[in-house]
Structures are given as structure tokens and as C-alpha cells.
Structure 1
Amino acid sequence: MAYRSGGAAAVGLVGLLRMVPSAVLAPLLSPLADRGRRERVLVVVSTVRGLATAAAAALVAVDGPVAVVYALAVVSTIAATLFRPAHSALLPSLCHTGHELASANVVRGLLDSAATLIGPRLAAVLLGLSGVEMVFAVSAAASLWSAALVVGLRYDAPPRPDAGRASRLLPEAAEGLRAVASNGGLLLVFGLGAAQALTRGALTVLSVVAAIELLGTGESGVGALMTSVGVGAVLGSLAASLLVSTTHLGRWFALGIGLWGLPLAIVGSVPVEPVALGVLALIGVGNALVDVAGFTLMARMARDEVLARVFGVFESVVALSVGLGSLVASLLVERFDTSTALIVVGLVCPVLATLALSRLGRLDLAVGALDEDVTLLRGVSMLAPLPLPAVEGLARGLRPFEVAAGETVFRQGDTGDEWFVIESGTVDVLGDGQVVTTLGPGEGFGEIALLRDTPRTATVVAREDLHLRALCADHFVPVVLGHPHSTRRAGADVDELLDRFHPHEEE
């Protein structure tokens, strides 16, 4: 409709205007998901959307005021803006390893792609069978069903700030911006994500113009092109489950970014419908890789306490870039021609992805090192129940600590201010001068003094050269005691150790 009334420029302007509300609201509302339990935010959002859409369905059925229907649609849209940041921030807390998180993002990408492909076609069927009110009613039921599913979610959530401080939304949103600005890895992923979103926005214009003016397939051809992208996204999500590993996320991300643009350049160079349908499916594959690798990388690099705000900023960047992309594409078509616009836009992502390859490779190395530390900590009994963000938080605070054979790590009666985990080597644990036990790689010690707030209850001596990782008490204690499962496990472990060292409370 926009193309018929105003050409490519009208399509681009509409695309930009559609994105403005999400761009403004996402970073402003996302602090709400960093307070309290994130699944409750999802329940509220889904319930509000369901009730608003159900009310719209009822009004349409009785020919109610159109203005009220529009207002309800706005309410639903505002609520939806908070869903993706909250959902993206919640997923890591349901996982225990980076591989689990990547796998969860594969499943989410597959479901998103399938819903994007099936949803419009289901709406068309419902419109044909009944009317708009039925589309609204089914959408409302889906939202309320989503809320019901999340209500039953059980997991070990960390303590979070009170959710009732509405007056602090702006400062908290600014903290999310600072978290992104201070992290070079996040800035790189955000920049490439913005390029991909710009290309996505351009595609909304170029698919219309290319189908009508370049390929000669008319308006029906627009649907065929976008269906090809959707099919590619579903197939790409299935392939991502076999291809993506946590050690090469940056490289897969670069490939996905490149696949977002290259097919457009090919269509611009070879404007033939079968070629267009085939190569545009690769955009869907690229989208699957970008979603899996990009969202997993962001979750691994950002601190859990600001994670929803980081994703909120990302949603804002994406929304602005999509809107800008649609406008840029329309201006290119008006200034040059459709083929030139396709080639210019299509080269943006491949060029940027190629330039970023070395930095993404370093990002892979950093994530790999983080995985090694997570694996080391996971071997400690009291830390095993912790969700991935908590263990990663501990891993980021580890520092290397070396002790030569025969030297003492700490003595019985010392003030305890650090916890240790053995990377290599062995130690003797002595209570009142007697060897109580010997510890080796992957085992931790020093927790009794920290968790019970007592002096050191044993002396620890290196039997051979030691490579330890140390964690300060201020970092260790709040995490261990901030999760019910790890608190119980730590309490049981400490009691067992104290019983072994009887009659004193040695470690």
C-alpha cells in the first residue's frame, strides 16, 4: 500500500516510523527486568498483551470504537518491547554451561523462525474463515498461554533489587548504556548487529521494489521472496544445532553477518527470480547464525545484574538500524536504481564481517578461556548447583596464585580473606599439625573461614609447585550464599569438613 501511494520513499519512511517506539522504549523499560525475578516480567508482559488483544477482539466483534482498538494495540506493543530483553536475560540463568546456552538459543531461533513463517499464513487463514476478531482472539490466547507456561518455571534465581523503584528507571537505563560502552567485545557485536539490522530494514524496501520493478513478479512476488527468507531461517536454525560450538561463536557470527548481505548483492547482479529465491534463503540461514552466536556472545560478555539492560540497548540499536536501513534503501533506489541499491546495501555486511574477523577470533579465545575457568569451578561441589551467570561472575574474579613446593598457603588461626581452587599440584591440609587430607587439581579450600566468619581452621602446605586460582571473600561469599541450592550444598560440605577435623574446627 505504501509503495503504491508513494513509491520506495514512502515504504522507507513507514519502516522508520514503525521502529521509533521500540527504539525509545526498549532501553527505558528494560531495567524492570533486572529487578526481581525475570520470569515474572515475562508473565506480566504476556498477560497484558493477552488481555489487551482479547479486549480488542471483543470490540471488533461488536463494532466498538476504532480509536480504542488502536489504543489497545499500542498497549500491547509497549508491553512487547520488554519481552525480548527479559527473555534473553533469563535464558542464561536456566543454563549451567555455555554449550547449554548456545543450544537454548538455537531452539529459540528455530521457534522464532517457525513462528515468523507460520504466523502470517495462519492469520490469513483465520481472516478467510472468520474475520479480524478471530485473529485477535487467537493471538490473545497464545499470549495468555505463554504467561501460563512461564508461571510454572522453577529455577535458582539470584537476589535482585526491589522492583518498585520506578523513579530510578532513567539512571538504571544509563547504567546499561555504560555497561555496553565500557566493553569492547559488546561494542563489536553491537556494531555488526546494527549492520545486519540496517540490511534487514533495507530488505523490507528492496524486496518490494525488486519484485515489482526488477524481477517483474508483481506484489505477489514480494511474499515469495520473504517466504524464501523464512524457509532459510528455519533450515538454518536446524543446521545451527549441528554447527555452533561455544569455541567458535565469533566466527559463526561473522559468517551469519556476511550471509545477510551477500545474497542481496547477487540479486542485484543477477536479477532472475529462481536465483533470487535461492540466494535469499541464505539470508535466513545467516539470520539463524546471527541469533544463536550473537545472543550467546552478549550473554557471556555482560554482567548478569545488567543483562536485561544490555539487551534492551541492543533492541534499541536494532530498531533504529532497521528503520534507518529502510530509509537508506529507499533513497538509494530513488537516487540510482534498484540493482545498484541491492549491490551497495548487500556489500555492507560482508565487508564489515571480514574486517572484524580477527577481533572476533580474539573474542572466541576469551570465551574459551572463560569456559575453562567455568569448568574448573564446576568441579567444586558447592559451586556445581549455581546457574551459568553466577559461575561466570566468579570466574571473572579469579586471579592466578602460585606457591612453591613446601611453602604455606595460609596457617591455622590466620584471618581468612580468600578462597582457593587448585589448577595444578597438590596440598596437605593440617589440623593441629597433623595431616587431615590431601587435595589435588579441581578441589577448593579456604571456604570455612569465609562462610562461618571464623579464623582459618587449618594450615595448608604445598606438597609440590602449586598453580592456584584465588577469589576474594567479597566476591565469593555473596554468590555462594545468594543461591539456595549452593547455600545448602556449602553448609553440608563445611559440616562434613569440620566433623573430619574434630575436636577443633579445622579445615
Structure 2
Amino acid sequence: MPVGAVLVETRTSLAAVVRNPDLRRVQLALVTSLIGDFACATAVTVWAYTVGGASAVALLTAVRLAAAAVTAPVAAVVSDRVSRRTALLVTSGLRALLIGAAAAYLVTGADDPWPVYVLATLAGIFAAPFRSAQRAWMPALADDPRELSAANAASGTLESLAVFIGPALGGMLVLVASVPAVLALNVVTFAVSMLLIVRVRRGGRRPDAPGEPGDDPVPGPGLLRELTAGFATVGRDPDLRNVAGQVCAQTFVGGASKVFLVVLAVEVLGTDAGGVGLLEAVLGVGAVVGGLLTLARASRQRLGGDLAAGVLLWSLPLLAVAAWPSPVVLVVALVVVGAANPVVDVNLDTIVQRMTPEATMARVFGALDTCYIATQALGSLVMAPLLVLVGVRWSLVVVAVPVAAVAALSVPRMRRLDARLEAPAGLPLVQEVPWFRLLAPAVQETLARSLRREEVPSGVAVVREGDPADTFFLIASGRVEVTQEGRVLRQQGAGDYFGEIALVHDIPRTATVTALEPTVVLGLGREEFLAAVAGRPRSLVEEVAATRLAFRG
């Protein structure tokens, strides 16, 4: 893509996000929190390497990730049962308390590292539900799928900036101040993030309100159903399973990188363990570039293909480092890997948001986070013995080759996924129905895909007065006449709709609707229609139906 086109597309996508004050506040809250997180993670990594070497780093990383993986489904259930705002505020507050306690402990000068390990692990547990709730909130704040893609791309770009700024800031503060100072900074960033979240106005309702098609993928009551709802949604959809498998492969490498970056800093750059902050900053530079590219491509909606490309670029540069382990090759390779990271993350988030109902979205993200965190933990655990057995160069080959193969083999299926995610033809009509406007974009698309097209010749009745009612109709083209007991009530054209009266009040058809010219109508079944309007401002639907009845039609 030419540089000029990238800049134009990036500016357009950013402008769409900036114009939406709620999206803007959530983005700022995210980047503020992430900068503190990455700074804190760098400081804790350096500290762990200092007290215990590479094995301590691997163990701490694996334990933190494993704990987060186990608790992510439980936390996601809570996130789907309270407002997104509440979930973000509570998790941020708890993490601030835990990191503050770790800072206070280090200030005392105690030698035992285990309290810091425990507090850091507990704080890490709440990182996954924070991100799940934030990502699940985005569809309710965006006005359409393109704005949602742009918002996710903006989040990816800001996260890329955090990946660059956070480790650099953490490494600098470790050198000029102390590890407790970095932890204290993280507490401040949590407080700022919470203030921004409080000011978000839209999307504050409980996300589990009834009325979204497919919001109960595991029928039946009980805790098990709640905990497995996200896994069930992913398991029932082959495309989601494929996406999850690819990103699991990528996160395996990500977990391994928590260990091998420290070794590369020492063996290739010739620095001490503190050099990992420099390598993390290099990743951040690449991530900024990748974030801008993702922003530029947001309007193209090539989500599956871009995700596969991002996974591939997470692995191939590591093979270059294995072949030519020099500082220049290492820096270039990490810039490419960093650029691939937002490409994967942003397209993953948008795919999930477009394909899952809002009522279970946090649980789907929680289920995926469990898988990804588990593979990260596995990667960090595998890397330590690999380094001992075969050295850093062959270790990179062992972890990179399978990931590259997975990404390359998935390209055809990911292209088919892009076709599936293309906006359905009836989506603009769905978005113009007053009560459907209140639905999340993913639900609107689900409804639009459920529409059944019917061509009606001139003079033929679409529905007849007194007949049973099982469909709500939108007029795609043409013109119809509405009559009752032989009296003409009104005429309707493209963009209008009819049939809601009988469905809302559960009565036979109250009027006959006849095509005045060749007409195309799109039908939405009773169950889909009633599910979509239930739990929403149903009074709006009933008001429209009552008004038409009052005027006899």
C-alpha cells in the first residue's frame, strides 16, 4: 500500500474514533493502563532475573499466565453479568491494590522474593478480565462495523505505543530510581484509567439482557453452563476454532519470547539483563508501525487474511535471527515481529466482536484468553529447557517453524472467513429500523443474515388480513399498498417495514399488504424478530404497533 494511501486511510479511521467521545475515553483508559503494565512487567522481569536468573523469569511468567488462564472463564462470567464499566473499574482497583502492596514490600528491603511473586501473579489474574470486558464493550460504543474496526485498530496502535513507551519507561526508571518506583507508577496509571472509565456514558447496561439471537449456546441452568458458554460458542463455529488455533500458535511464541529475549539481550546485544527493556522497546517501535498499517487497512475489512499474515510474520523473522544472530538482524527481526502483533490482535478482536453475541462476548474473550494464556505459559516453560538442550539459535527454530506452517496452511480458510464477514445485503435496512438501531453491530449483522429474500409480482399479496403471522418484513425495493377490510390505509416503499403488529401482540394479520409493482421484501422470522426486540426498549416497538392499530393499520 503506498505511503500516501496509508496516511489518508489512517487519518480517516482515527477521525472516526476521535469523534466518538466514549470510544476516545476507553482508548485513553486502555493506553494509560497498558503503559503502566508494561513498565511494571519490565521492572519485575529484570528484578526476577537479578534474583534468580532465566529460570526465575520462566517460572514467574508461567505461573502468572497459568493462574490467569484458570481464572479467566470465571472472571468472564462476572464481566457478562455486570456492566462493562463496573468490570473495568473493579479489576483496575484490585490490580492497583496488589501492585501497591508489592511496591510497599520491596521498599522494606526484604530479601524473600516470594511475596512479590505472589502479588504479581494475583495482579496478573485480573489482567485478562480487564481486557475481555474492554473488548466486549467496544461494539456497544461503536456506531457501525467500520467504526468498530477503526476503534480496534486504534486500540492496537495505542497498545503498540504502550509496548514501546512502557518497557522503555520501566527500564529507565529501574536504572535511575528503583523497581518500587516503577510499581508506584503503575498504581497511578490505574487511577487515571479508572477516572476515564467513569466518564464513559454509553453502553453502561448489563450485557446479559435477553434478546440477542444465539446468546445461550449451552442450554440449561447452572454454573457449568455459565463457565463453558464461551468455549461452547467457539467450539460450535469452525471459523472461530481456526482463528483460535492460529493465535494459540502465535501466543506460544509470545510466551517463549519472555525468556529468549533476556538471553538474546545478553548473548547477541552484549548487555546485561536490563537490555531486555531495549529489545521490548524495539518491539514497540515495530508495533507502532503495525498499528498504523492496521488502522489504514481497517476500512478494507480483510480480517482473516490479515490475521494469518500477522501470525506468519510472528515466526519467520525468528528464523532469520537463528541463521544470522547479529544485533542488526535481531533489531530488524523484532521490528517486524512487533509490527505483526497489532495485526493479529486487532483482527482477532474484530472477528470475535463481529461473530459473537454481546451477551456472551466477554465469556468468549475469556475462553480465548484462557487458551492463549495457557499457550503463553507453555511457551515460557518449554523455552527454558530448550535453551539448555540446544541453545538459543535452535530453540528459535523449534518454536518458529510449526507456527509458520500453521499460518501458511490456514490462508485459504481465512480468505473464506473474509467472505463470510462481508456486510450482508440487508444490513442497511436492518439498521434503519428504529428498535434495531439499538442493537450491537454483531447482532445487526446476525439479523441481516437471517433475512429471507422474496420477489413479489405486481398485484400479489405479501400477507392477507386474518392470516397467522410468523414473519416481519422489510421492503428492499418496489412499492406496496396496505388495506384493511377493503379500505386503503397507506402505501409503503423501499426502506419501510410491516408485520410487527401481529408479532408483538400475538394476533392474526391486521391488514393485507399487496405489491403495487414488482417488489422485493426481506423476511425475518418470528423467533429472530422477538428475540431481537426482547429486553430492549420494547415500548418503542409497542408504541409503533399501537399507533398503527389506533389508525387502523
TM-score bracket for this pair, using the shorter chain length: 0.7 to 0.9
Q: CA 1:183–1:231 in structure 2 vs 1: closer, same or farther (change >3 Å)?
A: same
Distance 1:458 1:139 in 2: 64
Q: CA 1:273–1:122 in structure 2 vs 1: closer, same or farther (change >3 Å)?
A: closer
List per-residue Cα deviations over 1:406-454 (Å, max 9, x = no partner): 3222112333332112334432222332443333333321112223444
State the secondary structure of the residue aligned to 1:155.
Answer: coil
Residue 286 of structure 2 contacts residue 337 of structure 2 at CA under 8 Å; is this kept in 1? Answer: yes
Residue 403 of structure 1 contacts residue 462 of structure 1 at CA under 8 Å; is this kept in 2? Answer: yes
- The alignment of Structure 1 onto Structure 2 pairs a total of residues equal to 495
List per-residue Cα deviations over 1:348-391 (Å, max 9, x = no partner): 33322221111111111111044x34333113344234332432
Instruction: Give the structure 2 partner of residue 91 of structure 1.
Output: 138
State the secondary structure of the residue aligned to 2:299.
Answer: coil
Distance 1:202 1:94 in 2: 35
Name the amino acid aligned to 2:89: V
Distance 2:179 2:267 in 1: 32
Instruction: Give the structure 2 partner of residue 76 of structure 1.
Output: 123
Superposition map of 1:6-85 within 5 A: 12-54=58-100, 56-57=102-103, 73-85=120-132
Instruction: Give the structure 2 partner of residue 329 of structure 1.
Output: 383
The one of 130, 139, 153 equivalent to 1:106 is 153
State the secondary structure of the residue aligned to 1:181.
Answer: helix
Distance 1:129 1:218 in 2: 16
Name the amino acid aligned to 1:444: Y
The gaps in structure 2 that reach 5 residues or longer are: 1-45, 211-220
Distance 2:449 2:74 in 1: 28
State the secondary structure of the residue aligned to 2:301.
Answer: coil
Distance 2:382 2:117 in 1: 29
Residue 9 of structure 1 contacts residue 334 of structure 1 at CA under 8 Å; is this kept in 2? Answer: no
Residue 64 of structure 2 contacts residue 122 of structure 2 at CA under 8 Å; is this kept in 1? Answer: no
Distance 1:65 1:329 in 2: 27
List per-residue Cα deviations over 1:125-182 (Å, max 9, x = no partner): 55566655543433223223322322232225466269xxxx9444311222111111
Q: CA 1:184–1:272 in structure 2 vs 1: closer, same or farther (change >3 Å)?
A: same
Distance 2:263 2:509 in 1: 74
The one of 188, 191, 199 equivalent to 1:141 is 188
State the secondary structure of the residue aligned to 2:472.
Answer: strand
Distance 1:313 1:89 in 2: 13
Runs (4+) of structure 1 exceeding 6 A deviation are 1-10, 62-70
Q: CA 1:286–1:72 in structure 2 vs 1: closer, same or farther (change >3 Å)?
A: closer
Name the amino acid aligned to 1:149: L
TM-score normalised over the length of structure 1 = 0.87
Q: What displacement does 1:192 show? A: 0.5
Superposition map of 1:92-491 within 5 A: 92-126=139-173, 131-156=178-203, 157=205, 160=208, 168-214=222-268, 216=270, 219=273, 221-245=275-299, 247-370=301-424, 372-484=425-537, 487=538, 489-490=540-541
Q: CA 1:136–1:300 in structure 2 vs 1: closer, same or farther (change >3 Å)?
A: same
Deviation larger for 269-278 or 407-416: 407-416
Residue 429 of structure 1 contacts residue 438 of structure 1 at CA under 8 Å; is this kept in 2? Answer: yes
Q: CA 1:146–1:11 in structure 2 vs 1: closer, same or farther (change >3 Å)?
A: closer
Q: What displacement does 1:63 show? A: 7.2
Name the amino acid aligned to 1:383: F
Distance 2:108 2:382 in 1: 42
Distance 1:200 1:40 in 2: 30
TM-score normalised over the length of structure 2 = 0.80
Q: What displacement does 1:189 show? A: 0.7
Residue 29 of structure 1 contacts residue 169 of structure 1 at CA under 8 Å; is this kept in 2? Answer: no
Deviation larger for 121-130 or 361-370: 121-130
Distance 1:105 1:309 in 2: 19
Instruction: Give the structure 1 partner of residue 10 of structure 2.
Output: none
Residue 207 of structure 2 contacts residue 358 of structure 2 at CA under 8 Å; is this kept in 1? Answer: no
State the secondary structure of the residue aligned to 1:415.
Answer: coil
Deviation larger for 20-29 or 243-252: 243-252
Name the amino acid aligned to 1:160: D
Distance 1:69 1:17 in 2: 13
Instruction: Give the structure 1 partner of residue 32 of structure 2.
Output: none
Name the amino acid aligned to 2:451: L
Q: CA 1:263–1:124 in structure 2 vs 1: closer, same or farther (change >3 Å)?
A: closer
Distance 1:159 1:341 in 2: 44
Query: Identity of aligned pairs, percent?
Result: 36
Name the amino acid aligned to 1:81: A
Name the amino acid aligned to 1:141: V
Name the amino acid aligned to 1:178: A
Name the amino acid aligned to 2:365: F
Q: CA 1:405–1:64 in structure 2 vs 1: closer, same or farther (change >3 Å)?
A: farther
Residue 96 of structure 1 contacts residue 386 of structure 1 at CA under 8 Å; is this kept in 2? Answer: no
Distance 2:498 2:258 in 1: 58
Deviation larger for 343-352 or 79-88: 343-352
Q: What displacement does 1:8 show? A: 6.2
State the secondary structure of the residue aligned to 2:490.
Answer: strand
Q: What displacement does 1:77 show? A: 3.2
State the secondary structure of the residue aligned to 1:412.
Answer: coil
Name the amino acid aligned to 2:368: F
State the secondary structure of the residue aligned to 1:423.
Answer: strand
Residue 377 of structure 1 contacts residue 442 of structure 1 at CA under 8 Å; is this kept in 2? Answer: no
Q: CA 1:460–1:160 in structure 2 vs 1: closer, same or farther (change >3 Å)?
A: same
Distance 1:386 1:266 in 2: 47
Residue 135 of structure 2 contacts residue 349 of structure 2 at CA under 8 Å; is this kept in 1? Answer: yes
List per-residue Cα deviations over 1:185-239 (Å, max 9, x = no partner): 1101100000110111222233233343356555454333322111111221122
List per-residue Cα deviations over 1:304-345 (Å, max 9, x = no partner): 222111111111111111122223334443333432322343
State the secondary structure of the residue aligned to 1:483.
Answer: coil
Distance 2:245 2:143 in 1: 28
Distance 2:207 2:405 in 1: 43
State the secondary structure of the residue aligned to 1:383.
Answer: coil
Name the amino acid aligned to 1:190: A
Name the amino acid aligned to 2:260: L
List per-residue Cα deviations over 1:95-114 (Å, max 9, x = no partner): 23211111111121122222
Deviation larger for 442-451 or 117-126: 117-126
Q: CA 1:10–1:395 in structure 2 vs 1: closer, same or farther (change >3 Å)?
A: same
Q: CA 1:239–1:424 in structure 2 vs 1: closer, same or farther (change >3 Å)?
A: same
Q: CA 1:10–1:381 in structure 2 vs 1: closer, same or farther (change >3 Å)?
A: closer
Q: CA 1:272–1:308 in structure 2 vs 1: closer, same or farther (change >3 Å)?
A: same
Residue 249 of structure 1 contacts residue 293 of structure 1 at CA under 8 Å; is this kept in 2? Answer: yes
Residue 257 of structure 1 contacts residue 290 of structure 1 at CA under 8 Å; is this kept in 2? Answer: yes
Q: CA 1:217–1:47 in structure 2 vs 1: closer, same or farther (change >3 Å)?
A: closer
Distance 1:217 1:143 in 2: 32
Deviation larger for 458-467 or 179-188: 458-467
Residue 72 of structure 2 contacts residue 129 of structure 2 at CA under 8 Å; is this kept in 1? Answer: yes
State the secondary structure of the residue aligned to 1:356.
Answer: helix
The gaps in structure 1 that reach 5 residues or longer are: none
